[in-house]
Amino acid sequence: MKKNLFLIAISLTILLILGACSDSSSGTTDGEWTPEKSIEIVAPSGAGGGWDTTARMAAKVFDEEGIIDQNIGVVNKTGGGGAVGWAYIANYDGDPYHLFVASPPIIDVPLSGQSEYDHTDFTPIANIIADYGAFVVKADAKWDTLPELFDDLKEDPSSITVIGSSSPGSMDHLQFVRFAKAYGVDVKDIKYVSEQDGGELTALLNGSVDVFSTGVAETVEQVRAGNVKVLAVTSEERLQGDVFSDFPTAKEQGIDETFVNWRGFFGPPNMDEEARKYYENAFKELSDNDAWKEIRAQYGWDEMFMGSEEFAKFLDEQLDVTKELLDELGLTE
């Protein structure tokens, strides 16, 4: 009898050890998932842009503030206005160690038929910031206000060329179109050039194009250098901070329109619910962290945290709004 009880005890101990090992290998401890190896964040663009900067700054704060213990690497997957990066992540079905940063192009690009993947193919984790657009011209350009530019567009649309980093029908294009439409410009006649290899400012400064539709943070150094001027930003009110506060809004110039370049993080398709919760909580901690608040101020970003469920609903709403505008431009598939 004693021998049988001893064997039973040994068997139970082995089962407990095996169960613990199983939890450890999956990253689950007491029902709560935690990462047990390095994490990769994909920026679906080149270095230096909004996606890249957001991903790298988030990884930096996660590491330096001890929010996530594992190493986090940021990799760039360029092409297709984000489509190459999304296709890459789609290959990691259910893998909780691959995340990516996204913004409006994940809505725009699939609608215009340039990607087989859209936001519904991935796991929304959290939105963390609001960035804003800017409409930029050379410092010696004849326009000093956005209405002056739009008046010339109304008179002769073919005389003005707009450049952006996004593909046609995506963010930089659409933010300009929204404001032009609000002013009464026939948006179907706007000449838009896509440049995804970093040559946008060069084209503006050498006179190849007239207007650069971009993010606010991408303008600051050129404004400081005296090379460009910002006709308007897309925020509701003037932004805070050095240089940023000098940029007028379109609203204060009589154009009743705004545009928010939200920026958030996603996981691959079918991410485990416990892993999703872990990352959602980590991004909330990031958003509330003082180091992250300093980074937001540095880049002119606003706080715009949304948890997974709220973020998913927001994305569906954005889909409806964007589709209506792309239909008008004749750019939906």
For residue 10, being part of any structural domain is answered with no
Domain identity same for 122 and 142: no
Report the distance separating Cα 3 and Cα 11, nearest Å: 12
Q: How do residues 302-330 score in pLDDT, each as one tens digit?
A: 999 999 999 999 999 999 999 999 998 99
For residue 248, being part of any structural domain is answered with yes
Q: How do residues 151-193 score in pLDDT, each as one tens digit?
A: 999 999 889 999 998 889 999 999 999 999 999 999 989 999 9
What pLDDT is stored for residue 100 in this prediction? 98
Given 245, 260, 275, which residue is the final one in a domain?
Answer: 260
Given 260, 282, 310, which residue is the final one in a domain?
Answer: 260
pTM here? 0.83
Q: What are the φ/ψ torsions at residue 128 (nearest 5 degrees)?
A: -125, -25
For residue 25, being part of any structural domain is answered with no
What pLDDT is stored for residue 197 in this prediction? 76
Q: Give strand pairing partners of 267.
A: 123
Structure tokens that stand for 279 in this block: 């990352």
**Contacts for 296 with CB less than 8 Å, ≥ 6 apart:** 129, 302, 303
Domain identity same for 176 and 232: yes
Domain identity same for 86 and 143: no
**Contacts for 116 with CB less than 8 Å, ≥ 6 apart:** 83, 87, 110
Domain identity same for 162 and 276: no
Instruction: State how far the alpha carbon of 209 is from the alpha carbons of 158, 195, 201, in Å.
Output: 12, 11, 9
Given 213, 241, 260, which residue is the final one in a domain?
Answer: 260
Report residues of the chain scoring pLDDT below 50: 1-3, 5-26, 28-29
For residue 297, being part of any structural domain is answered with yes
What CATH code is carried by the domain that includes residue 69? 3.40.190.150
For residue 146, being part of any structural domain is answered with yes
DSSP, residue by residue, 108-160:
HHHHTTS-S--GGGSEEEEEEEEEEEEEEEETT-S--SHHHHHHHHHH-GGG-
User: Computed from CA positions of residues 135, 140, 145, 147, in that sequence, does the dihedral angle turn out positive or negative?
Assistant: negative
Domain identity same for 252 and 265: no
Domain identity same for 286 and 182: no
Number of domains comprising the chain: 2
Domain that holds residue 185: 132-260
Based on its alpha-carbon atoms, the radius of gyration of the chain, rounded to whole angstroms, reads 23
What pLDDT is stored for residue 13 in this prediction? 44
